[in-house]
Amino acid sequence: MAFDNDEVLLSPFTLGDLKLKNRVILAPLTRGRAGEERLANELMAEYYSQRSGAGLIISEATTVSAQGNGWVNSPGIYTDAQGEGWKTVTNAVHKAGSKIFLQLWHTGRASHSDFHGGELPVAPSAIKIEGEGLHTPKGKVLHEIPRALRTDEIPGVVADYKKAAIRAKQAGFDGVEVHSANGYLLDQFLQSKTNKRTDQYGGSLENRFRLLSEILDAVSEVYPSGRIGVRLAPNGVFNDMGSLDYRETFTYAATRLNDYGLAYLHVMDGLGFGFHKLGEAMTLKDFRGVFKGPLMGNCGYTEESAEAAISNGQADMIAFGRPFIGNPDLVERFRNGWPLLESDPSSWYLSGDPAKGYTDFPSYSPSTANA
């Protein structure tokens, strides 16, 4: 579907049974403000409320189990206390007039034994991330060779996603997004580079898709399918990803996802997380050709390129990440042609005052336009 006007980004959109006030989406952004107990809190509620001009908010990645942890001070949703903490956030967002989905996360091999009392992180196969390392509660460390999940452990992982969805629903989230991108556990199962299994979860495209399929089946017992999204990253090299058969893999996955009647497919089509250069980058056009539901683009979009993607029918919504960090009133800036503020990357993650670089960005006024 193509549009004739130049303001489609700010036009309403019907997402299943949800009415979104615009097509600007707050992308999931890991910000590390949940503390050691991984509890959503009042500061996080303020942060999300400030950005509720978005038609839909997708929460920062939120772990479905202690086993899934792999980022300092990121939130969880695997305890009752964590579920209660998120109610503060959902209430604030709803009061501000937006909708919010919780992104369900398991880091898989992109974790470290420091997060797990000395136990190795888990993965589809015992293949180490090659890279600079990661930050843990003990400081920056090198990646380890993960432990391959046993076949009989996988139903427990699926159950963790279902339990997390139950807590998300109790906490008031309008839906959930299953994070199957950026080199985390479900992406690791999907891609041939990281999945060398010989059981029913490895080898063929069907087998590598199986874990995502089982998780969607489980989560669909909690939320209707029209309240569930999935995120994919076909081009990214983040967390040492990139498979020779990436086009075949992600075309297959997008085609299979038609079976679920999803709220949307969220595609990291930009190259801001690196590009594996194993062929031409996959675009929204590639996914539009095989996925029949609502399509969301993400990574590196400007207002102009987002307008173009929606106007030409390649996308229905566009998610913005970094522009939303320094511009809590991003939608109003788009609407009025106001300039955008640049945020300092050194403040994106917790260091000292938790509000600094988080909730202290001003809304637009002439006096702050060049601040």
Return d(Cα 168, Cα 102) in angstroms, integer.
Answer: 7
d(CA 273, CA 233): 9
Q: Identify whether the C-beta of residue 267 lies closer than 8 Å to the C-beta of residue 300.
A: no
| Lowest model confidence (mean pLDDT) among 2-6, 45-49, 165-169 | 2-6
Q: Is residue 154 part of a domain?
A: yes
CATH for 280: 3.20.20.70
Q: Above pLDDT 90, what percent of the chain?
A: 91
Does residue 359 lie in a domain region? no
**Does residue 69 form part of some domain?**
yes
Higher-confidence residue: 365 or 193? 193
Q: How confident is the model at residue 369 (pLDDT cuts 50, 70, 90)?
A: low
> Considering 184, 223, 246, 301, which one is annotated as catalytic?
184
Q: How many domains does the chain have?
A: 1
Residue 353 lies in a domain: no
What does the pLDDT read at residue 272? 85
- Alpha-carbon distance of 50 to 30, in angstroms, equals 16
Supply the range of the domain harboring residue 339.
8-347
Annotation says 161 is catalytic: no
Give the sign of the dihedral formed by CA 60, CA 64, CA 67, CA 73: positive
Is position 63 within any domain?
A: yes
Containing 167, the helix (H) or strand (E) segment is helix 154-170
Specify if 371 maps to a domain: no
Per the domain annotation, does 362 fall within a domain? no
Q: What is the pTM of this model?
A: 0.95
Burial of 261 (0-12, 13-18, 19+ CB in 10 A): middle
Residue 357 in domain: no
